[in-house]
């Protein structure tokens, strides 16, 4: 399958393409999308393989993917930066009228333990539910947007433990 490119012409495109192909081959990836920036500018973007192998949908540089664990260090960096600048407290609750996300996800989450989940607990995988050992919501509904998945999970799934008491690695959290 050919590599799809986007962005400006990149002088080292052939070398970058060979690295991308080598990653696909070495790790037997169904598909990959890569973007490189320099000085806040996109310098290389490429994709190869399948976004959906069964349906033969090719990967493109605009294919949307769930990042799962890749997003955690980026999110943590952003949150710690905000905390250092006193723009957020890591002990702020996430849901409800005074929460970081406010009332966006509806009334069902305002009561009970879900209303006490803090930013710190999510960062430390201490939110009390949705561990990826079993029943990880991230892998249940691939067709949902992030907002829809969060709303459905909060509405339909109970916590497995009281927030702050049990650590369970969570893609969803």
pLDDT tens track for 81-120: 999 999 999 999 998 888 888 888 766 556 688 889 999 9
Mean pLDDT rounded to a whole number for the chain? 86
- Does 5 have pLDDT greater than 90? no
In a domain, 91, yes or no: yes
Q: Give φ, ψ of 118 to 5 degrees.
A: -105, 165
Biggest distance spanned by C-alpha atoms of the chain: 57
Residues written for the chain? 173
141 or 118: which leads in pLDDT: 118
The range of the structural domain enclosing residue 17 comes to 4-58
Which pLDDT score, from 0 to 100, does residue 107 have?
60
Asked if residue 110 belongs to a domain, the reply is: yes
Q: Give the pLDDT confidence of 152-162 residue by residue, as tens digits.
A: 888 888 888 89
Which of 13, 38, 58 is the endpoint of a domain? Answer: 58
Residue 131 lies in a domain: yes
Phi, psi angles (nearest 5°) of residue 122: -65, -45
Total number of domains in the chain: 2
90 lies in the same domain as 128 = yes
**63 domain-assigned:** no
Query: Cβ distance 101 to 93 under 8 Å?
Result: no
**Quick count: other Cβ atoms within 10 Å of Cβ 113?**
17
Residue among 33, 69, 71, 116 flagged as catalytic:
69
Q: Judge if 48 and 120 occupy the same domain.
A: no
pLDDT attached to residue 115: 86
What number is the average pLDDT over the span 45-59? 92
Least confident piece of the model among 12-16, 29-33, 65-69? 65-69
How far, CA to CA in Å, does 29 sit from each of 5, 21, 35? 18, 10, 17
Active site residue 69: yes
Looking at the fold, whether 76 and 51 belong to one and the same domain comes out as: no
Instruction: Examine residue 168 and state whether it is found in any structural domain, yes or no.
Output: no
Q: pLDDT tens digits, residue range 19-51? A: 999 999 999 999 999 998 888 889 999 999 999
The phi, psi pair for 99, rounded to 5°, reads -80, 165
Tell whether 92 is covered by a domain: yes
């Amino acid at each position: 399958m050919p590599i799809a490119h986007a962005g400006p012409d990149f002088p080292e495109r052939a070398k970058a393409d060979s690295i991308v192909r080598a990653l696909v081959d070495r790790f037997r990836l169904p598909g990959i999308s890569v973007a490189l920036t320099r000085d806040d500018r996109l310098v290389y973007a490429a994709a190869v393989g399948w976004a959906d192998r069964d349906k033969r949908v090719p990967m493109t540089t605009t294919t949307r993917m769930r990042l799962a664990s890749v997003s955690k260090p980026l999110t943590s960096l952003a949150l710690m930066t905000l905390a250092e600048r006193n723009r957020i407290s890591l002990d702020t609750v996430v849901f409800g009228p005074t929460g970081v996300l406010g009332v966006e996800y509806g009334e069902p989450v305002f009561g009970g333990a879900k209303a006490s989940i803090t930013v710190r607990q999510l960062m430390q995988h201490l939110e009390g539910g949705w561990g990826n050992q079993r029943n990880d919501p991230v892998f249940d509904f691939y067709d949902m947007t992030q907002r829809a998945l969060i709303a459905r999970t909060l509405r339909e799934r109970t916590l497995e433990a009281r927030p702050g008491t049990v650590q369970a690695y969570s893609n969803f959290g």
